[in-house]
Structure 1
Amino acid sequence: MPKEREVAVTSADGTRIHAEIHGEDGRPAVVLAHGWTCSIQYWAAQLADLAVDHRVIVYDLRGHGRSPVPANPGGRGGPGAFSVDALADDLEAVLAATLAPGEKAVVVGHSMGGMTVMAAARRPVFREHAAAVLLCNTGSSRLVTDMAVVPLRAGRARDRITRSILGTRLPLGPVTPLSKRLLRYGTMGPGTAPERVTACARIVQACPTVTRAGWARVLDGLDLDANVPELKVPTSVLAGAADRMTPPAMSRSLAAALPECVGLTVLTGVGHMGPVEAPEAVGEAIRELTAAHLGAKEDTA
């Protein structure tokens, strides 16, 4: 079985970041950054596939999973706890703690994880370690205005409702048939297998309310457009044709702005949760990048 171990990571502001390494030392390295309201568990399919012949590094973004929310004396996220700079700081800290000096890896970001990669594009530690990048179901700006979760015509009314949904501090409650239907409508393709909807629901609904609301404010004001041209490594982009959270137009804009885009793939019938909905396609895209840029084999079958 692939080797697994935890790594103690401390970010620039002292925040503890929970990270894990799966797979044997000396194998091609892959770093996976999950999205908003998710956790390491989101990458279960990729870990099972890639850790057999890669070294896979996963971590919980701050406030998610086993990475705590940085707290001020009032017990809520303190100044700077939720910001794109904090995302970049955390990724740099994970890279520095898990990779040898100068060691290269393929860095994969889904949704807010992709935004994390873009936020770190100018950072020296990221540039030292990133051999190639995969951006899944993500965007660099205009998230609220371009999001199509609310079934209304684009405009102020839709934006207002979208903001209220994203930023709500109401608990999501237990996983129920209704909550799964709502999650699938908003974030997944209509044909997603029920067990995959259930898996996503359990992960998303475990996210703390403070984390969900704090990052929603950051996503509302996100503008990383200037960072995209700074992502000067071979970068592949994956989108879901049925993605309401980050519609395919966002991925097309990213692909056009990237200095070294090596491919744009729009997955038919797939929504926002690409790594869970289409794990084979995401795994294949990662293997293609490691084969091309780290000398790893695409298929060990």
Structure 2
Amino acid sequence: EYMCNVSDGISLKVIDFTPQNVSQGKPVIIFVAGWISLISGWKDVLKVLTAEHRVIYLESREKQSSTVPDVKKVSFSIERLKLDIGEIIEKVIPPSEKFILAGSSLGASAILEYCGSEKQKPLSVVLIAPNTEFRFPKILGTIIPALHPSLYFAVKPVIKWYLRNFRLDKKNSSEQVKKYENTLDCADPYKLKANALAIRNYAIWEQIVNINVPCLIIGATTDKLHDTEDIKRLLKIIPDSTYIELKSNMETHSEKAGRVIMEYMQGGSG
């Protein structure tokens, strides 16, 4: 575990898992989790992946772990997250070494944009419930710009209520509700606001051109937070893409999802 500096002065937390008997020919997996996501939510997926592969888990800049000298002077946009991925790859992956990019939600969006750049290409990418658009409801679109970050804890119950009742399946996925509420409890309100403002009204459709990398997209049947119809639209745009739909958001964070990823990598990219 270490901090890695990027070009605009921010330091990002990197957790490097290297199994003792890792084969030299196996690609490194760089994993970029979703919006303010906690590593604890990915422990089951990582358990499977780290058994055979070196996995570099990158915590993106909106997370509490990053060191940011001045939140007001840096960007938290998808474009900047894409640059972070490229800079971390240059720092930790030798040019001759093969790697795979995997991520979820916001991390998956940044990975897609990275793959459209002229940077070093991965063998393949794995996108778990990628966000193709970020559309805040009117109530949050009004609250967030006007809200001072210090008041975040006062409105946090409102955000939790909105997610619980309109964006999450609280009846069938109580564990998912608990996970996201814990994520909100651990968020840095200053970074959270800066990131929310930077990504509001974001849509990926004009950004994903020339994606010539094999791609596995994993969705979830009951996941209200990530639009499966938009994910299916992605499949039509990315030429070499495979779609696997699991039952729920919780299943996309499970050992089963880890095994799905391993099978895909072994079938097409080592």
* Same fold at TM > 0.5: yes
Q: CA deviation at 1:228?
A: 2.1
Return the match for 1:139 from 128, 131, 142.
131
User: What residue in structure 1 maps to residue 4 of structure 2?
Assistant: 9
Return the match for 2:84 from 90, 94, 113.
90
The reply on whether 1:103 has 2:100 as its aligned counterpart is no
User: What residue in structure 2 maps to residue 114 of structure 1?
Assistant: 108
User: What residue in structure 1 maps to residue 226 of structure 2?
Assistant: 246
| TM-score (normalizing by structure 2) | 0.83
Q: Any residues of structure 2 matched to 1:220-259 within 5 Å, and which?
A: 220-259=200-239
SS at match of 2:86: helix
Whole-Å separation in 2 of the counterparts to 1:23 and 1:252? 34
Q: Any residues of structure 2 matched to 1:33-48 within 5 Å, and which?
A: 33-48=32-47
Q: CA deviation at 1:288?
A: 2.2
Whole-Å separation in 1 of the counterparts to 2:58 and 2:80? 14
Code of the aligned partner of 1:254:
L
Q: Any residues of structure 2 matched to 1:179-190 within 5 Å, and which?
A: 183-186=163-166, 188-189=168-169, 190=171
Whole-Å separation in 1 of the counterparts to 2:117 and 2:53? 25
1:281–1:161 Cα change, 3 Å: farther
User: What residue in structure 2 maps to residue 290 of structure 1?
Assistant: 265
User: What residue in structure 1 maps to residue 17 of structure 2?
Assistant: 22
Give percent identity, aligned residues only: 19
1:186–1:214 Cα change, 3 Å: farther
1:180–1:44 Cα change, 3 Å: farther
Whole-Å separation in 2 of the counterparts to 1:281 and 1:161? 37
Structure 1: segments with no counterpart, 5+ residues = 1-5, 148-158, 296-301
Return the match for 1:265 from 223, 226, 244.
244
Q: Any residues of structure 2 matched to 1:69-218 within 5 Å, and which?
A: 69-71=68-70, 76-79=71-74, 81-127=75-121, 130-141=122-133, 143-144=134-135, 159-164=137-142, 169=149, 170-172=151-153, 183-186=163-166, 188-189=168-169, 190-192=171-173, 194=175, 197-218=177-198
SS at match of 2:209: helix
1:112–1:166 Cα change, 3 Å: farther
- Kept in 2, the 8 Å contact 1:248–1:266? The answer is no
The alignment covers a number of residue pairs equal to 262
Code of the aligned partner of 1:222:
Y
1:65–1:254 Cα change, 3 Å: same
1:246–1:69 Cα change, 3 Å: farther
Code of the aligned partner of 1:95:
I
Q: CA deviation at 1:11?
A: 1.5
- Kept in 2, the 8 Å contact 1:238–1:266? The answer is yes
Whole-Å separation in 2 of the counterparts to 1:200 and 1:63? 15
Q: CA deviation at 1:254?
A: 0.9
| TM-score (normalizing by structure 1) | 0.75
Whole-Å separation in 2 of the counterparts to 1:86 and 1:258? 22
Structure 2: segments with no counterpart, 5+ residues = none
1:247–1:140 Cα change, 3 Å: closer
In angstroms, what is the RMSD of aligned CA positions?
A: 2.9
- Kept in 1, the 8 Å contact 2:35–2:62? The answer is no
